[in-house]
Every structure is written in structure tokens, then in C-alpha cells.
Amino acid sequence: MANGYMGKILNIDLTTGSIETEALEESICQDYIGGYGLGARLLYDRIPKGADPLGPDNILGLLTGPLTGTPAIIGSRFVAVGKSPKTAGGWGDANCGGFFGPHLKFAGFDGVLFKGIADKPVYLMIDEGQAELLDASDLWGQGVTSLEDLLKERHGKNIQICSIGPAGEKLSLTACIMNDKERAAGRSGLGAVMGAKKLKAVVVKGKMKVPMHDEGKMKELRKKYLKEATGAYEVFNKYGTAGITHDAILSGDSPVKNWGGAGTTDFPSEPSRKISDDAVIGMEGYKPYGCWHCPIACGGKLAQKGGKFSLELNDGIGHKPEYETLAMFGANLLNDDLPSIVKVNEICNNYGMDTITVGATIGYAIECYENGLITAADTDGLEMTWGNAESIVAVTEKIGKREGFGEVLADGVKVAWEKLGQKGTEYAVHIQGEEIPAHDPKFIPGLAMTYYLCATPGRHTQGGEMIPAPDLELDQVDKYTYSGHATNHLKCVALMEVCNAAGLCMFGYLSYPVQSMPDQLSAATGWEFDMDSLLETGLRIFTMRHAFNLREGINPLARNLPGRIVGDPPLSEGNVKNITVDLKTLSREYLENIGWDIDSTIPGDESLRKLGMDFLIDDMKNVKVPGPAW
């Protein structure tokens, strides 16, 4: 097996309790790298078409990449993969940092695949290459914070844990897979898949070393590139993503008033500053921290003791909310009360809920309430009004418990809209069940392609012109000239696919020279990578994830498209007023560029052959998908 890998994964059948070790095929790793690239290739063969995402035939994977747990900048990531219960049974994945991913490899494995459903709650313990399923009946119902403490009391402090909270146990489609008490593999509803399998946690322990082709070269590359920090490094190092909040709100990048408002008029500089940069790191007891071996250290802990939003866990010590949480619970809800956002962040972390989904769903509920579509009789007496911090905190707790009005909102915007009789359709901002993150395509039009065409819709971390590496060579095209973006988009998407599959953090990709990625992959694995091979590999991974959806009958062009995210109708105020994104032109040129049919999005035979994916050709001829929505 190539270096960079432990060379094996675990296959767990939760129905029978069997545990088997499988050797990884080197050729598949070379073609799909790791992470969700490897996951998509394996699960395409192993999850039957039409499988129930919450049933025994779905497979939940936790997978690392070849740079996870190495000196690479920043090799701390792992991904959860599986069939999503949230996006019409399509491909699902969620990426996460912290310490769990590296330590899964140190425990001896590149990943774990779970199928079946346990007859009672269980957790998996991996200790120095030995794995066993243990009874979790006494742990079921525990929040993430207390669960991690209990497991460390039981197994020692030198373990790492990923787990679900009560939201995952109750199959909430807001549910994440959590580690380090606050790091979330947050999208696709995969916490609900873990809950459906009655799998409470995975605990890893070990000191094995990740083999590398040239360890000395890896260390030299780390020293070299650490001296070349650029791009987003300075902001992320000082503030984390909280540092972009004020500017994002005023520029039109952030959603305001459930995507229906403008920062300049509805949430201008004074309230925006209250939930951004210096205000956040100026909170009591603030201390930065980082994921495993991270030189940026964008995370932070703080204290919030006393007051109406006092933190109840960890003796009042909580975690700094990041940009997505600040925007979705702040400007999106016209809420400038920072302590309330710290509080909802704690609630979501402990219940194991995606803050993007929860904030978006509350925004939908508030707009329905403000427009008389629902009343206090529907909301358990809560006044769901813009900026009402007390109600925002209270309903977040209810969502975590699936209690009262929280039951209506517990599965996200799409399901809430259905439960409320399809009221306020224009307020229900999601794509195929996935809520939109806090970056607006009217500000960065290329994001519309990423949100709409990716196998996992509504995901800003999947690349595009929004997130180029700082020195990546791109064609100079005005962002509001809708023709001519296909080459740029392909480069940015393909490189992010490799970044995610390799186990790297996006913030490293945004903060260090792009050449660091092929250099580090080559030194770790012994395979020769350059920019051209990375682009080809990234497109192969992108195609593999897409093929999973096509087989399930999903055409991304048939997805619902919320008018608010593309400016249909356009805003009349703010920095992105009068903007309507021409998604049709952007998408058509991109599909032509990569060799997919412009109506069905089925890859052409030649495009598959170029990527060495001939095995998909016959399958793609049998695909039946609906036509485009336009």
C-alpha cells in the first residue's frame, strides 16, 4: 500500500455485530485520494439503488485522507459519508476538523464503514488496531459535552471521540456528527443516519505512525510553506471566521433578514460590529486554540457566566461562534445580541445540530410569523419576531428536544414548510432540502453553480470562484459577466475536491501557496502529483459523487431554486441591489466544458474515458432523470 495511508478500513455490520478489516486497493486510492473521494467510489458499489437513507442498507462512513495526521498544512480533517436523508436520498457528506481524524489513523485505520442497525445503542472502540462494539444504553440521551467527559472517564483522557447528541438520536435532519465538543460534520443530515443505526459514538485510541514516502521532505515543506502564509491567514489567525462577519454583512455576502433584506439598511454597521471581529474575541476569557497541529488556530474558547444567556455546561466555558453561526443567527435574524448567539452555539453543539440549518429554519419561521402565516398559538406562545433574542434561544432548545414548535422545525426548512401547509414558499430558502450557507451568489455569482450543481447542494465548501487559492492563476472575467467562467470554476472546484479528499483544511488552501498541495501529496504518498493531475483527480471525484445521484434519479438542474439567492426578483437596497444571477448561462457553459449533457447532466462517454471511469459508461446509459426546472 502507498504511503500516507494506514492501508486498511473497518467494515462494521451493526445488525450482526461483525467487524472485518479490509485492505485498501492502491489503485482506488491513487484515483480518488481518500476522504469523500474514496467514500464515493466505495459506496457507489455498496449501497443499493433506492436504499432507505435511515435503513439498514445505507452505509455510514468515517474516512480520512493521505495527509490526515501528517506534517501537511493543515492535515486534520476527516469526512462522514453516506446516503443523505435530507437531500432526496442523494449523496451526502460532511467535513470536520479537530483531533478525531488524525487519531483514527493513529489507531490504525484510514476509515470505518457501518451498515445495518444495532438492536440497542452501541459505540465503537478502536484501541491500537483492535476494534469492538460496546453497549451505549447508558449513554443514550447524553448531550455531546457530557458524553465526551463520560467516555474520557471510562477510557482515559488520551482518546478522541466523534458522536451524536440527542438530535441525532431523534433522527433530526439538523443532526451533525460532533467531535471535540464543538467541531461539527454538519451537513447532509448524517447525524440522523448515525442515530438510525443506534450508533452513539466512535472512540479511537492509538499511537501508530502514519507512514510517509519521504518524511524529511514533508517536514521541509511544512517549514517552507509556513513562512509563505498569505491570503486569508492573517484574518483567520487573529479572529477565526468571525473576522469577516461585519464586512460580509455590509457587502451583501451574508444573508440578512432571511435573504430578503440588505445589510446597509436592515443590519448596518453598528449592529454588525456587535457580532463581529473585535467584539467576539473581546468576550470574557477568550483564548484561541487550533485543530491538530494547526498553525492558524482559528478556534476559540470563552466564558459566559451570569446574565440571561449564561452558559450551563463546562462551568460556563463555551466556544467562539464562527462566521456561519454569527451570520445565520445574527444578520439573518436581525439579532445583534452576541451573548444569545454564544448561547445558541452551545445548545447546537450539545444537541449535535447544524447551526446553518437551525438558523435558516428559525429565519423561515420568523418571516412566517411576521407576515401572519403563523401565530403564537403555533409557536408555543413564543413571539417569533426579528431580533427577538429570547425567542431565538428558546426555540433553538425546543428544536434540539423535538418539543412543541421545535418538532415542526426539527428537520429543517423544507420539512417545516411542508408541516406548515406549504406556507410562505418564498421564505423557505433551501435547495433540495439543504439550507443555504451564509454566502450569497448575488455577491459571488459563481457560488450559484456550486450550490446548484454539486452532488451535495447548498455547500460553500465545495469550491468555486468564491474560494480560490491565493496564487491560483485564473482568467480575468468580471463576476457579473456571466459567460466565460467555466474554466475558472472547474479549477476551483477540482482543487477543493482534492483538498477535501486529502484530509486538508480549506483554510490552509486559502492561506498558503497552492503548490503546497501537490508537493505535500507527492512527499507523503510517493506518487507524482502536479497541478494538471490534481485537476484531473478533482474532476474524477466530482464526477463520482455526481454519478451516485444520477443513479438515484437526481438531476441537479431539476432542483428547486430559491429566487432570493439569485435575485429573482432582485433586491432594491444594499450592495447587491438590482442583481439577478444568470445561472442558466453559467451552468450551460460549465456542463459543456466538462463534457456533461446540458439538460440531463449525464457525463458523456468520452468525458468518462478521459477520467478512467469506463466502469460508469453502461450505468449512465440506464440513468433516468427529470429534465431541467427551467
Which pLDDT band, with edges at 50, 70 and 90, does 6 fall under? very high
Indicate the SS3 state at residue 133: strand
User: CB within 8 A of 377, min separation 6: which ones?
Assistant: none
% of the chain exceeding 90 in pLDDT: 97
- Counted residue by residue, the chain has a size of 630
Comparing 233-435 with 446-511+530-621, is the CATH topology the same?
A: no
Q: How far apart are the first and last CA of the chain?
A: 47
- What integer pLDDT is reported at residue 470 of this predicted model? 83
Sequence ranges of the domains in the chain: 8-205, 233-435, 446-511+530-621
Residue whose entry in the numeric block shows the C-alpha cell 489513523: 105
What mean pLDDT value characterizes the chain? 97
Answer yes or no: is pLDDT of 140 > 80.
yes
From CA 286, how far away is CA 299, in angstroms rounded? 10
| 7 in Cβ contact with 208 (< 8 Å) | no
Query: Which architecture, in CATH terms, is 233-435?
Result: Orthogonal Bundle (1.10)
| 434 in Cβ contact with 452 (< 8 Å) | no
**Per the omega criterion (within 30 degrees of 0), is the bond before 569 cis?**
yes
- What integer pLDDT is reported at residue 468 of this predicted model? 79
Q: Which amino acid is at 518?
A: P
Query: Topology of 8-205 in CATH?
Result: Aldehyde Ferredoxin Oxidoreductase;  A, domain 1 (3.60.9)
Answer yes or no: is pLDDT of 466 > 80.
no
- What integer pLDDT is reported at residue 465 of this predicted model? 78
- What integer pLDDT is reported at residue 1 of this predicted model? 73
Q: pLDDT digit string (tens) for 84-132?
A: 999 999 999 999 999 999 999 999 999 999 999 999 999 999 999 999 9
Neighbours of 135 (CB within 10 A): 13
Cell numbers at residue 209, please? 505512525
Span 176-198, mean pLDDT?
Answer: 97
Which pLDDT band, with edges at 50, 70 and 90, does 400 fall under? very high
- What integer pLDDT is reported at residue 464 of this predicted model? 82
Q: pLDDT digit string (tens) for 331-384?
A: 999 999 999 999 999 999 999 999 999 999 999 999 999 999 999 999 999 999
Span 162-176, mean pLDDT?
Answer: 98
Q: pLDDT digit string (tens) for 549-573?
A: 999 999 999 999 999 999 999 999 9
Q: Report residue 341: phi and psi, to 5°.
A: -70, -40
- Asked if CATH classification 1.10.599.10 holds for the domain at 446-511+530-621, the reply, yes or no, is yes
Span 236-264, mean pLDDT?
Answer: 97
Helix (H) or strand (E) holding 10: strand 8-13
When computed from its CA atoms, the radius of gyration of the chain, rounded to whole angstroms, is 23
Sort residue 386 into left (φ over 0), alpha (ψ -120 to 50) or beta.
beta
Within a 13 Å sphere around the CA of 514, how many CA atoms are in the beta-carbon half? 19
From CA 278, how far away is CA 599, in angstroms rounded? 48
Cell numbers at residue 473, please? 492563476
| 5 in Cβ contact with 502 (< 8 Å) | no
Q: pLDDT digit string (tens) for 261-306?
A: 999 999 999 999 999 999 999 999 999 999 999 999 999 999 999 8
From CA 241, how far away is CA 275, in angstroms rounded? 12
> Mapped to the 3 state alphabet, what secondary structure does 208-241 carry?
CCCCCCCHHHHHHHHHHHHCCCCCCHHHHHHHHH
% of the chain exceeding 70 in pLDDT: 100
